């Protein structure tokens, strides 16, 4: 347990020490999205009855920050350790692969959570939100952070160089998050793209998260919860297997 | 009592390259053991296999009786490895790095021992310094410190003195010797052969992934190299016929003659006197490990 505790603490300390880059910068990016999109679209788009576009947008942006930063945390930590070689410091000790997985993923959830709270805190200056179901909000944030933290572990282990990680991020993570209904309700899409969206797990994360604020959603929240939990379970099993066989970490 | 290290039939390929070709080796508890070999011989690969960083294709390794795969947690707790590459985590200070490393090994409060290590490695006034700001030799010392945080009974040092200044090298060896006296098993790789000669009780020499010599240091020295007599004759004199075949290479007028034992000196001197050769200078060279190493590598 002490091994897990220390690795988790080290992973949190790692991003906290460079908080300007890892927390402040992404909060600012999200605020810029919010200012631009809400200014341009506020008067043209209404998604849910009685919910302004800006209010609709905020939960999506918060969730997007949680997801992207959770992914960034585990993946960048692992790739940096691999490239600089200091990964040996965690490979030499008697840390089990379960502890290894849990420490990286939990630290990712914490980073995602801190950034998400930062975005939420700042946007409260501009918009009023309902808080219909705080537990749904928390639950989806944790599941989302966990899913992306695990994907970050996979990407960090798989990549040998920074550009491979960038490719993973640009071709998988970014499309999944941008095409998930952060900026729109999928009901405003043509039927074909609505169908496609249902294959994107991030769509369920954002939809469920939004439900926690407004009490309305595109699909029932329990469905979203089931999809998210299923994804996390599958990714967990896959990542634990990679760690157990030592894929790319132990030659 | 289990041996500190047991290596049985370990083979490892990287693609077409045979890095380890069936290595068998046992190091008893309490030994000070040297692992020597030219660049690329497989020393680091063997150490990595022991540490679980590399998985052998064939064969088994155990630390104090604990298999490094099946029983990896126990094996790793008993082993401290100083890696050859100069690696460090730029996010942390020296003390932070040591605390974190202690935690990875399950030790919560390790301050007293950390202070002792820092003291012995002359790092006390660098304790609060960020790793990035240390010189290469200091980073190397921190690597040694990190390998010792959990007081491992078996300590493996992969070229720990590369780039370390003379003073610290001596301090480091004094410290490692003390750990050895206290019962820790030490395995060392180095390209400084005088270092290995003076420290190691037993030595294995590796060449292209195979062990080509394995014996006590004293036996190796005795077996592979005798004394050498270095002579400088007065200008214009030629050595007698009887010695000419045994003499080798006149370097700057100096000739070397290999002896099987010290008693042969007498007969050599007698031959010279008889031939009327006058000596300007004479010196007896002791056998050294470098010579043994060269001979083993040529032959093996
Ligand atoms: N991860 C790897 N992938 C491919 N080849 C490798 C890998 N690690 C080592 N090798 C090769 O295996 C051989 C043995 O390397 P190793 O690092 O064990 O040598 P060494 O005895 O430690 O040498 P040195 O004295 O230079 O440190 C070398 O030919 C090396 O190129
Ligand atoms: Mg080496």
Domain co-membership, B165 together with B51: yes
Residue A192 counted as domain residue: yes
Query: Which candidate, B172, B150, B36, places its Cα nearest to that of A89?
Result: B150
End-to-end CA distance of chain A: 26
Same domain, residue pair B187 and B255: no
Which residue lies with its CA nearest to atom 29 of ligand 1? B40
Cα–Cα distance measured from residue B40 to residue A229, given in angstroms and rounded to the nearest whole number: 48
Instruction: Please tell me whether residues B68 and B21 are part of one structural domain.
Output: yes
Q: How far is the CA of B209 from the centre of ligand 1 (A)?
A: 10
Same domain, residue pair B196 and B231: no
Is residue B296 included in any domain, yes or no? no
Q: How far off is chain A from B194, nearest CA to CA, in Å?
A: 29
- Does a structural domain hold residue B298? no
Domain limit, last residue, from B203, B222, B241: B222
Contact state of A251 with B100 under an 8 Å Cβ cutoff: no
> Is the beta carbon of B209 within 6 A of some atom in ligand 1?
no
CATH label of the domain that carries residue B278? 3.30.70
Task: Tell me: do B73 and B200 sit in the same domain.
Answer: yes
B85 touches chain A (CB under 8 A): yes
Is the domain of B179 the same as that of B68? yes
A12 is a domain residue: no
The C-alpha atoms of residue A34 and residue B77 are separated, in whole angstroms, by 51
For helices A53-84 and A134-158, what crossing angle results, to 10°?
A: 30
B141 and B235: one domain?
A: no
Of B52, B103, B146, the CB nearest to A6: B103
Q: Closest residue of B to A103, CA-based?
A: B104
Query: Does B103 contact chain A (CB < 8 Å)?
Result: yes
Mean pLDDT, 10 residues at a time, over chain B (300 residues)?
94 95 95 95 96 95 96 96 94 95 94 94 93 91 95 95 85 92 95 92 94 90 76 79 73 74 81 82 80 80
Taking the centre of ligand 2 as the mean of its atom positions, its distance from the CA of residue B41, in whole angstroms, is 8
Q: How many domains does chain A have?
A: 1
Pocket of ligand 1 contains residue B21 by CB under 6 Å: no
Which of B222, B249, B274 corresponds to the end of one domain? B222
Residue B244 lies in a domain: yes
Q: Is residue B254 part of a domain?
A: yes
Q: Looking at residue B92, which CATH number applies to its domain?
A: 3.40.50.300
In B223-268 the beta strands, taken as DSSP E runs, fall at 228-233, 247-251, 254-258
Tell me how close the Cα of B127 comes to any Cα of chain A, in angstroms: 18
pLDDT of residue A56: 85
Tell whether B112 lies on the interface with A, counting CB pairs under 8 A: no
Is A46 among the domain residues?
no
Give the Å distance between the CA of B174 and the centre of ligand 1: 29
* Domain presence at residue A171: yes
Measured between CB atoms, which of A5, A81, A246 is closest to B103? A5
Question: Of B200, B222, B244, which closes a domain?
Answer: B222
Domain range holding B18?
5-222
Number of Cβ within 10 Å of residue B297's Cβ equals 16
Task: With respect to residue B76, please indicate whether it lies within any of the assigned structural domains.
Answer: yes
Residue A229 in contact with residue A144, Cβ under 8 Å?
A: no
> Has residue B163 been placed in a domain?
yes
A20 belongs to a structural domain: no
Q: How far is the CA of B41 from the centre of ligand 1 (A)?
A: 7
Task: Kindly give the number of the ligand 1 atom that is closest to the alpha carbon of B45.
Answer: 18
- Cα angle value B89/B71/B204 (rounded, 5°): 75
The pLDDT value recorded for residue B249 is: 64
- Report CA(A212)–ligand 2 centroid distance (Å): 56
Q: Flag if B104 and A9 touch (Cβ within 8 Å).
A: no
- pLDDT recorded at residue B47: 97
Report, in this order, helix, strand and coil percent for chain A, each rounded to 5: 75, 0, 25
Q: Quick check: CB of B205 below 6 Å from ligand 1? A: no
Long-range contacts of A134-137 (CB under 8 A, 24+ apart): A134/A212, A135/A212, A136/A208, A136/A209, A136/A211, A136/A212, A136/A221, A137/A59, A137/A209, A137/A212, A137/A213
Do B175 and B236 have their domain in common?
A: no
- Both B197 and B259 in a single domain? no
Q: Is residue A147 part of a domain?
A: yes
Give the mutation target among B10, B11, B14, B81 for probing the ligand 1 site: most ligand atoms within 8 A of CB.
B14
Any domain includes A241: yes
Q: Are residues B161 and B253 in the same domain?
A: no
Assess if residue A98 is contained within a domain: yes
Nearest CA to ligand 1 atom 25: B39
Q: Is B44 in the pocket of ligand 1 (CB under 6 A)?
A: yes
Whether B297 is in a domain gets the answer no
B53, B107, B108 member nearest A91 (Cβ): B53
Asked whether residue B295 is assigned to any structural domain, the reply reads no
Q: Which stretches of chain A drop beneath a pLDDT of 50? A: none
Is there a contact between B104 and A93 if contact means CB atoms under 8 Å apart? Answer: yes
List the single best residue of B90, B91, B97 to mutate versus A (max A Cβ within 10 A): B91
Instruction: Verify that B76 and B203 share a domain, yes or no.
Output: yes
Domain that holds residue A175: 57-245
Residues B46 and B187 in one domain: yes
Cβ–Cβ of B105/A5 closer than 8 Å? no
Q: Would you say the CB of residue B41 lies under 6 angstroms from ligand 1?
A: yes
CA–centroid distance, A159 to ligand 1, in Å, is: 22
DSSP A189-229: S-HHHHHHHTT-HHHHHHHHHHHHHHS--SS-HHHHHHHHH
**What's the number of domains chain B is made of?**
2
């Amino acid at each position: 347990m002490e091994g897990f505790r220390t690795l988790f603490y080290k992973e949190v300390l790692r991003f906290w020490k460079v908080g300007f880059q890892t927390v402040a910068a992404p909060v600012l990016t999200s605020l810029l999205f919010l200012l631009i999109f809400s200014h341009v679209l506020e008067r043209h788009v209404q998604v849910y009855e009685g919910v302004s576009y800006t209010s609709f947008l905020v939960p999506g942006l918060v969730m997007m920050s949680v997801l992207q930063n959770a992914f960034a945390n585990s993946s960048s930590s692992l790739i940096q350790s691999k490239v600089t070689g200091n990964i040996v410091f965690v490979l030499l000790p008697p840390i089990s692969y379960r502890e290894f997985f849990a420490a990286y993923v939990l630290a990712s959830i914490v980073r995602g959570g801190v950034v998400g709270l930062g975005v939420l805190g700042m946007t409260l200056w501009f918009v009023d939100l309902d808080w219909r179901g705080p537990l749904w909000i928390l639950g989806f944030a944790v599941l989302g952070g966990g899913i992306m933290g695990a994907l970050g572990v996979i990407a960090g282990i798989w990549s040998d160089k920074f550009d491979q990680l960038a490719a993973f991020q640009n071709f998988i993570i970014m499309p999944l998050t941008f095409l998930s209904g952060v900026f729109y309700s999928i009901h405003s899409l043509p039927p074909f793209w609505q169908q496609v969206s249902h294959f994107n797990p991030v769509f369920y994360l954002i939809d469920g998260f939004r439900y926690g604020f407004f009490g309305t959603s595109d699909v029932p929240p329990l469905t979203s919860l089931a999809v998210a939990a299923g994804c996390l379970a599958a990714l967990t099993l896959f990542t634990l297997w990679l760690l157990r066989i030592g894929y790319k970490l132990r030659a | 009592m289990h041996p500190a290290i047991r290596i049985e039939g370990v083979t490892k390929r990287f693609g077409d390259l045979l890095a380890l070709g069936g290595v068998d080796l046992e190091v008893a508890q309490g030994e000070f053991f040297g692992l020597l070999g030219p660049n690329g011989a497989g020393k680091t690969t063997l150490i990595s296999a022991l540490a679980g960083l590399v998985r052998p294709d064939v064969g088994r390794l155990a630390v104090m009786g604990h298999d490094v795969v099946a029983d990896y947690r126990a094996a790793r707790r008993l082993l401290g490895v100083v890696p050859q590459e100069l690696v460090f985590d730029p996010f942390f200070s020296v003390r932070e790095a040591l605390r974190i490393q202690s935690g990875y090994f399950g030790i919560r409060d390790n301050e007293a021992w950390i202070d002792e290590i820092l003291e012995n490695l002359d790092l006390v006034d660098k304790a609060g310094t960020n790793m990035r700001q240390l010189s290469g030799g200091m980073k190397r010392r921190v690597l040694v410190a990190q390998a010792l945080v959990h007081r491992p009974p078996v300590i493996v040092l992969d070229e720990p003195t590369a780039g370390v200044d003379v003073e610290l090298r001596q301090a480091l060896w004094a410290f490692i010797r003390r750990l050895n006296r206290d019962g820790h098993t030490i395995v060392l790789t180095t390209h400084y052969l005088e270092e290995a000669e003076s420290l190691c009780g037993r030595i294995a020499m590796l060449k292209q992934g195979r062990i080509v010599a394995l014996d006590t240091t004293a036996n190796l020295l005795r077996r592979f190299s005798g004394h050498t007599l270095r002579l400088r004759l007065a200008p214009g004199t030629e050595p007698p016929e009887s010695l000419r075949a045994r003499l080798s290479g006149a370097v700057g007028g100096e000739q070397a003659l290999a002896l099987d034992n010290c008693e042969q000196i007498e007969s050599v001197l007698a031959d010279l006197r008889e031939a009327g050769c006058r000596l300007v200078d004479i010196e007896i060279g002791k056998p050294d490990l470098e010579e043994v190493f060269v001979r083993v590598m040529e032959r093996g």
